[in-house]
Amino acid sequence: MEGIKDKVAIIGMGCSKFGENWDKSADDMIIDAVYEAYEDAGIESKDIGAAWLGTYVTEWTGQMLSRALKLDYVPVTRVENACATGSDALRNACYAVASGACDIALAVGVEKLKDSGYTGLPDFELLRRQSNTYRTRTYSPPGHFAMMATKYFDKYGLDPEEGKRIIGEIAVKNHHNGALAPKAHFQSETTLEKVLAAPMVAWPLGLFDCCGVSDGAAAAIVTRADLAEKFRADPVYIKALQIAVGPYEGYMSPKYDWVHVEETARAGERAYAEAGIKNPREEISIAEVHDCFTITELVIMEDLKFSERGKAADDVRSGFFHLDGGLPVNTDGGLKCFGHPIGASGLRMMYEVYKQLQQKADKRQIKNPRLGLTHNLGGTPATCSVSVIIAGNEKG
């Protein structure tokens, strides 16, 4: 299998301000993100050969993208892959240019969540509908991820207070990073004391263990790798594009241990193989991962082999994942602080990786980046879609 490595490059990216964007419609945020990407790539709307729109609940059809941007009758498709929707939009656009079907493709992710009046995620009816029977669940996403925290603490002998301090450190780190990101939803530092004192959302997860519910959009423009340098001197090359979708095993089989996410492990292994990475802890320069909850980030560190099984807490305590650590994670604040407009998140992660690889991340800039990774999870620990995308600033 040849794989995607070095066949596609990102030549432009854009990202709207994330947050409670009361004064912006989905169309407004799409336009903000896409026109930033056009400018970044030095292209115009008429140069787009095909487009993919990732949205989870904002609209049923991809036609909204053409409506907002007034595209020139090019193919537009809506893609959906739960919270990994944005990454899948990028994947589709990359495959389009890699196949030669078009030279320039656009991937956009958007979500308008704050029109709903709900403080949490809106309208999971869409999820319920497919199996809308006796087995319909009455509990929330935090409730599912909290089950992983309970089990993780139990398995590694952490009493809940100690466990909460460890995952609380992740929230503190991501708040620090978010405070340095001008487009982040939450741009404030926090303290472990504040994190631990926050109200409970789904025991053992408190408010600060949960990511923001935000509006936002992000966009990427991709082209074939051999065309990329015509557009800019510092394109970012795609090294791996993987998605693993679980068969619901975690809900049905006692084999599932609730202290890892199989989909992350599978997508990670495949992505490392596709990119030719042997030692991710050493070779990956920066990772933007799906910290929908602090416990998720902790477990991802192990699933992606950044930390040994059961040892991620040691790396959290030592600051290994801080901006100045050995492997900075969620340098823009992650879902926790940059926010989580579902369909946009995967592309927002790549926006940060792209800027870091181009040395344009301002106060958040890490030293000597070479390879960046995005990890985007849609679903729950027991069954989900996970994308792992790896990008680099050099070919080869």
Question: What residues are labeled active site?
Answer: 83, 340
Tell me phi and psi for residue 251, to 5 degrees: -85, -15
The answer to the question of residue 162 lying near another protein (CB under 8 A) is no
Element (H, E) at 223: strand 216-224
Shortest distance, CB of residue 119 to another protein, whole angstroms?
Answer: 5
Query: Of 254 and 396, which CB lies nearer to another protein in the complex structure?
Result: 254
Q: Which one among 61, 63, 99, 116 touches another protein, defined by CB under 8 A? A: 116
Query: Of 60 and 124, which CB lies nearer to another protein in the complex structure?
Result: 124
User: Residue type at 159?
Assistant: D
The answer to the question of residue 156 lying near another protein (CB under 8 A) is no
The answer to the question of residue 136 lying near another protein (CB under 8 A) is yes
User: Binders of another protein among 237-256, rule CB under 8 A?
Assistant: 247-249, 251-254, 256
Q: Which one among 86, 109, 168, 204 touches another protein, defined by CB under 8 A? A: 204
Cα four-point dihedral sign 317, 322, 328, 329: positive
Shortest distance, CB of residue 203 to another protein, whole angstroms?
Answer: 4
The answer to the question of residue 217 lying near another protein (CB under 8 A) is no
Task: Give pairs for 182-185: CB < 8 Å, separation 24+.
Answer: 183/15, 183/16, 183/17, 183/18, 183/338, 184/18, 184/19, 184/332, 184/333, 184/337, 184/338, 184/339, 185/18, 185/19, 185/20, 185/212, 185/214, 185/216, 185/337, 185/338, 185/339
Q: Which one among 42, 120, 310, 326 touches another protein, defined by CB under 8 A? A: 120
In whole angstroms, give the CA distance from residue 289 to residue 297: 7
Q: Which one among 122, 163, 334, 379 touches another protein, defined by CB under 8 A? A: 122
Cα four-point dihedral sign 60, 61, 67, 70: positive
The answer to the question of residue 159 lying near another protein (CB under 8 A) is no
The answer to the question of residue 75 lying near another protein (CB under 8 A) is no
Mapped onto helix, strand or coil, the DSSP state of residue 287 is strand
The answer to the question of residue 20 lying near another protein (CB under 8 A) is no
Shortest distance, CB of residue 114 to another protein, whole angstroms?
Answer: 12
In whole angstroms, give the CA distance from residue 297 to residue 177: 15
Query: Of 178 and 246, which CB lies nearer to another protein in the complex structure?
Result: 246
> Could you tell me the strand order of the sheet in which 371-380 lies?
76-79, 50-54, 104-111, 216-224, 8-15, 236-245, 383-392, 371-380, 286-288
- Interface stretch with another protein, choices 87-95, 172-180, 200-208, 364-372 (CB under 8 A): 200-208
User: Binders of another protein among 328-387, rule CB under 8 A?
Assistant: 382
- Residues forming the site for another protein (CB under 8 A): 116-125, 128-129, 131-140, 142-144, 146-151, 154, 200-205, 247-249, 251-254, 256, 258, 382
